[in-house]
Chain A
Amino acid sequence: MKNKVYDVIIVGGGVVGTAIARELTKYKLKIALLEKNSDVGEGTSKANDGVVHTGFDATPHTLQAKLVVQSSFIYPKLCSELNVPYRKVGALLVVFEKEQIPTILQLKKNAEINGIRDLNLLSREEIFKVEPNLNTDVLKGLMIPRESITCPFTLTIAYAENALQNGAEIFLENQVKKIEIIKKSFKISTNQHTFYSKFIINSAGLFSDEISMMVGINNFRVIPRKGEFIIFDEETKNIINRIILPVPTKITKGILITPTIHGNVLMGPTAKDITDKTDFSVTREGIKEIITKCTKVVPILSKQTIISQYAGLRASTKNNDYIIESNDKVPRFLNIASIRSTGLTSSPMIAKYAVEKLVEMGLKLIENKDFNPYRELPYYYHSQDIVKEIKRKFPINKKFGHIVCRCNKVSEQDIIEAIHSPLGARTLDGIKRRTWAGAGRCQGSFCETRIIKILARELGIDIAKISRKGKGSEIAISRNKETLLIANKKNKNN
C-alpha cells in the first residue's frame, strides 16, 4: 500500500461513491473507495424512503433534473444487472384544496419540460378506483406511472460488491484525516493508512464540505437536513398500492406514504435543518408531524401498528442544484455535493457524469474488457416467497432450513452467507440490511441473541465484540459477574 498509487480514490462509500466505484471498474484503472464507517451506505444512503424518482418535479434545466430523469430510464436495467429489487408501483400526487389544483397542472407542465410526458390527471372517481383508502376529501390527483421503489441498502451493497468483483478495493473504517498535494498526486492520510492517488472524487455526503476544505476548496457548506420516517407493520401492506405524494414545495418533496420493497408501508420524510451531522435521532415533533399529515391523507393509517421510526440526514447546501465540479485551484479533484434526497435515483448517471468530468480533468480511459456488470443474486437476499426459496436453497446447504429470524423467515445459512459475502456483514445492522433479519415486527427481540452468536462464531471473535453498528455499540458489555470478580480482587488487594 505504501508505494501503490491509485488512479482514482473515492472518499465516501454511500450510494453515489459505490456507484462511481463500479462505473470506474469499467476501465482499466486502480480504484480504491475509502469509507469511514464499518459498512458502506451508513450515511444518507441508509436512511431514506427507497423511492426511485422520475424527476417529474425537479426544477427544469438543472443538473439534478437531467441526471434524475436519465437515471430513472436506465434504472430497471441497472437493477436487473445488479439483482437489486425494483418495483414500478407508480405514484399518485393528491390535492385536497381547490387552490392547489393549478399547482398540479403546473407540475404536469414542469414534467414535460423535463422530458416526462406520461403523467395524467385523475378525477376523484378515478382516484378512488385505484386508491380506495384515501381521504374522501381528495379533489384531484396526478398519476406518475414510472415512480418506483427499490431497496436503498441493497443497491449500495450491490454497487460495492460488483465493484469489488471487478477489481476495485474498498477500505472500511478508514476516515480521511488529511489530504496533501504532492506533485502530480494526492497523499491521503486516514486513521489507519496512507494512500496515494492521481485523482480524488469527494462523495463524502454529509462530510463532503470537510473533505473539500482539506484541499482548500471551501465554496460550499453542508447543512444537514433531517428527514424522519415511520414504518408500519407488514399487515398494513395493502392499504395503499402506489406512492402517495403531497404537493412538493421548494424546499422539500413533502411527506409521502409509500409501500416499501420489503412489504411494509412507510411515511415520511420531514424536512428540518439541523447543525449536528451525526444527529440521527427521531424527534417528538417529527413523529407528530408525520402522523398528523399522513392520517389526513389516508385516515385508516391511524389504526395501524407502527413498528419502527428512523431519521436520515440529507446533505444539503445553500445551492438548490447538485454540485459536481472541479476547481482550477486543485486539479484532478472532483467535488460531488448537495445531492440531498435524489442520490439513490440519480446514482447511475452521477457516476457516468463524474467519469466524464475526470476525463475532462485528464484521466485516460482504457476499456476493461473483463468488466462483468452482473452481480449474482446472493442466496441471503430476503424473498417473501419462503416455500419457493427453501425448495431452491435447501439442496445447496442444509442450514438454509434452520430459521433464525422468525418474523422474516431468515435462515442461519442466509446469515452465514451475508457474513462471508465479498463485503461481509460484521454487525447486527449489517446483517439486517442484507438479510432483513431483525427488521420484522419483533424488531430483533427474538433473533438478536442468536444472530450475535452466529456472528461471533463465523468471525472468530468474542461475543462481547459483536456490535449493533460498529465500535461503541457492543451488545454485551461484560460476562455475568465479571464486575463482581474485579471488584472483589480490588478489595482483596487493598
Chain B
Amino acid sequence: MKKNKIFKKELICIVCPLGCLLKVEYQRQPNKIIKISGNKCKRGIKYAEKEIFSPSRVLTTTVRTLSNRVLPVRSVNEIPKHKIKYIIEELSRIIIKRDIKFGDIISVNRKGLKIEFMATDNIKLEKNV
C-alpha cells in the first residue's frame, strides 16, 4: 500500500474564546486527521477538519446602491476561502437600483458557484440622488 505523506499544521481554534492552539497531523486523499492535540473539547477536532480540508468563511461586505449609502450584506452560508476573491469581484459590479428590505436576498453567480447574500439593512432610494 502506498504510504501517504503526513502533513503537520498548527492552528488556533476559534470555536470558543479559549482559542486552543491545535497541533494537527493529517493526510490528503483521503482527507483524514491522523493526530490532534491541544484541544480542550471535541469541537476542536471538527473545527480542525473543516479548517484544514475545506476552509470557509462567512463573508460580510457592502454593496453599492444608488442611494448615498452602501448596503451591508452577509453571505447566508460560509463560502470556501479560495473563492472569496472571485465573489468580491462579482459583488463589486453590482449597484442596487431598487429599495431593499432587511432580509432580502441578493444572488451572486460566478463560474457555476451560486452564493446568496442577505441584506442586513433597509435602503430606500431617495428621489434626488
In the complex, is A directly touching B at CB under 8 Å? yes
- Residues in chain A within 8 A of chain B (CB atoms): 453, 463, 479-482, 484-485, 488
Of chain B, the residue at the smallest CB distance from A463 is B68
The answer, yes or no, to whether B74 is at the interface (CB within 8 Å) is no
Most chain B beta-carbon neighbours within 10 Å: one of A463, A479, A481, A485 = A481
**Known contacts A480-B62, A485-B93; 6 further A-B pairs (Cβ under 8 A):** A480-B64, A480-B70, A482-B92, A484-B89, A488-B89, A488-B92
The answer, yes or no, to whether B91 is at the interface (CB within 8 Å) is yes
Give the contacts of B49-92 with A (CB-CB under 8 A): 62, 64, 68, 70, 88-89, 91-92
Of chain A, the residue at the smallest CB distance from B62 is A480
Residues of B within 8 A of A480 (CB): 62, 64, 70
Q: Contact at A479–B64, with CB atoms within 8 Å?
A: yes
Q: Contact at B88–A484, with CB atoms within 8 Å?
A: yes
Q: Report A137 CB to chain B, min CB distance, Å.
A: 52
A480 CA / B93 CA spacing, docked (Å): 11
Q: Report A451 CB to chain B, min CB distance, Å.
A: 15
Count class of interface residues, chain B? under 10
Q: Report B84 CB to chain A, min CB distance, Å.
A: 12
A482 CA / B62 CA spacing, docked (Å): 12
A482 CA / B89 CA spacing, docked (Å): 10
Q: Contact at A484–B68, with CB atoms within 8 Å?
A: no
A453 CA / B68 CA spacing, docked (Å): 9
Residues of A within 8 A of B92 (CB): 481-482, 484-485, 488
Q: Report A481 CB to chain B, min CB distance, Å.
A: 4
Q: Report B79 CB to chain A, min CB distance, Å.
A: 16
7 A-B pairs with least C-beta separation: A481-B92, A484-B92, A485-B92, A480-B62, A488-B89, A484-B89, A480-B70
Q: Contact at B88–A481, with CB atoms within 8 Å?
A: yes
A481 CA / B91 CA spacing, docked (Å): 9
Residues of B within 8 A of A488 (CB): 89, 92
Q: Report A90 CB to chain B, min CB distance, Å.
A: 50
Most chain A beta-carbon neighbours within 10 Å: one of B89, B91, B92 = B92
A190 CA / B126 CA spacing, docked (Å): 42
Of chain A, the residue at the smallest CB distance from B69 is A453
A480 CA / B65 CA spacing, docked (Å): 11
Give the contacts of B71-129 with A (CB-CB under 8 A): 88-89, 91-93
A114 CA / B21 CA spacing, docked (Å): 76
Q: Report B103 CB to chain A, min CB distance, Å.
A: 22
Residues of A within 8 A of B91 (CB): 481
Residues of B within 8 A of A463 (CB): 68
A485 CA / B95 CA spacing, docked (Å): 12
Residues of A within 8 A of B88 (CB): 481, 484
Q: Report B117 CB to chain A, min CB distance, Å.
A: 14
- 13 chain-A/chain-B pairs, Cβ below 8 angstroms: A453-B68, A479-B64, A480-B62, A480-B70, A481-B91, A481-B92, A482-B92, A484-B88, A484-B89, A484-B92, A485-B93, A488-B89, A488-B92
Residues of A within 8 A of B89 (CB): 484, 488
A485 CA / B64 CA spacing, docked (Å): 12
Residues of A within 8 A of B62 (CB): 480
Residues of B within 8 A of A482 (CB): 92
Residues of A within 8 A of B68 (CB): 453, 463
Q: Report A450 CB to chain B, min CB distance, Å.
A: 12
Q: Report A91 CB to chain B, min CB distance, Å.
A: 50
A392 CA / B62 CA spacing, docked (Å): 42
Residues of B within 8 A of A481 (CB): 64, 88, 91-92
Residues of A within 8 A of B70 (CB): 480
Of chain A, the residue at the smallest CB distance from B88 is A484
A71 CA / B72 CA spacing, docked (Å): 58
Q: Report A301 CB to chain B, min CB distance, Å.
A: 40
Residues of B within 8 A of A453 (CB): 68
A328 CA / B62 CA spacing, docked (Å): 67
A482 CA / B64 CA spacing, docked (Å): 10
A62 CA / B109 CA spacing, docked (Å): 79
Of chain A, the residue at the smallest CB distance from B70 is A480
Most chain B beta-carbon neighbours within 10 Å: one of A479, A480, A485 = A480
Of chain B, the residue at the smallest CB distance from A457 is B68
A463 CA / B67 CA spacing, docked (Å): 13
A481 CA / B70 CA spacing, docked (Å): 11
Of chain A, the residue at the smallest CB distance from B92 is A481
Q: Report A289 CB to chain B, min CB distance, Å.
A: 44
Of chain B, the residue at the smallest CB distance from A484 is B92
Q: Report B85 CB to chain A, min CB distance, Å.
A: 9
Residues of A within 8 A of B93 (CB): 485
A463 CA / B64 CA spacing, docked (Å): 15
